[in-house]
Amino acid sequence: MANLMIPLERINAEARTLDPAKTLVLLARLVGTVLLAIPYALGWTLRKAWMGVALLWTAAVVGWQEAGRSRQAVPDE
């Protein structure tokens, strides 16, 4: 079984020197960043997916129209 050496004295000493106000500000900034990053990433992903669908749809419509024009341009024999 592994014996882990955890420096509890050092952890306690550093924890006692933390300023609660600075810690709360840091925590609030972290939570704010996470809360803003999720909708941003979701919006970015949806926009890229929509642009992909729109591009494919437009390509299909233009291809359909071009196929109709080339068929009309060929005279019947």
Q: What is the pLDDT of residue 75?
A: 65
In tens digits, the chain (77 residues) has pLDDT values of 667 888 999 999 999 999 999 999 999 999 999 999 999 999 999 999 999 999 999 999 999 999 988 777 666 65
Place of tokens 């500000």: 25
CA atoms of 48 and 54, how far apart (whole Å): 10
Q: What is the pLDDT of residue 3?
A: 74
Q: What is the pLDDT of residue 73?
A: 65
CA atoms of 48 and 24, how far apart (whole Å): 36
